[in-house]
Amino acid sequence: MNFITKTFQELNTTELYQILQIRSKVFVVEQDCVYQDVDGKDQKAIHVFGVKNDKIVAYTRIFKPGDYFENASIGRVVVEEKERKFGYGHDVMKASIKAIQEHYNQINITISAQVYLQKFYESHGFIKVGEEYLEDGIPHIRMDKSK
């Protein structure tokens, strides 16, 4: 799989459409969560996505410190349902951590993780910080990664 990083301005319309489509398919439809995905933050983000057979099947967006959390951050981590068995979630996380180091020269990263994915994020060096909270009706936890 080929991973690409682009600013919002660098995305072409097909890429943007596929990104919004995969996010809506997973976060709104699959997880049955009505929330405002198009939140005005995409313009600040760098978009990290994996392409397979000309289709985006894995995606995150990353932010520099202060744009979302005090630390750099990764959000909207998503993999197409039928592609999850190939480990692309791990691949997109590694690509996102690398992109934060390359674009922002940062090693401290904060995420707002869905609780059921805690072990997945721990496998990438993230540690739970604080108590569980609801975000858009779904249980989340803050997780931090440092060196």
11, part of any domain: yes
75, part of any domain: yes
Task: Tell me if 63 sits within 8 A of 45, measured CB to CB.
Answer: yes
CATH assignment of the domain containing 97: 3.40.630.30
Q: What pLDDT score does 113 carry? A: 97
Long-range Cβ contacts of 51-54 (<8 Å, 24+ apart): 51/1, 51/2, 51/3, 51/4, 52/1, 52/83
36, part of any domain: yes
59, part of any domain: yes
79, part of any domain: yes
What predicted TM-score, i.e. pTM, was given to this entire model? 0.95
82, part of any domain: yes
85, part of any domain: yes
Q: What pLDDT score does 35 carry? A: 82
Q: What pLDDT score does 36 carry? A: 83
Q: Which domain holds residue 80?
A: 2-106
Q: What pLDDT score does 73 carry? A: 98
Radius of gyration of the chain (CA): 14
Sequential pLDDT tens for the chain (147 residues): 999 999 999 999 999 999 999 999 999 888 888 888 899 999 999 999 999 999 999 999 999 999 999 999 999 999 999 999 999 999 999 999 999 999 999 999 999 999 999 999 999 999 999 999 999 889 999 999 997
143, part of any domain: no
Domain tally, the chain: 1
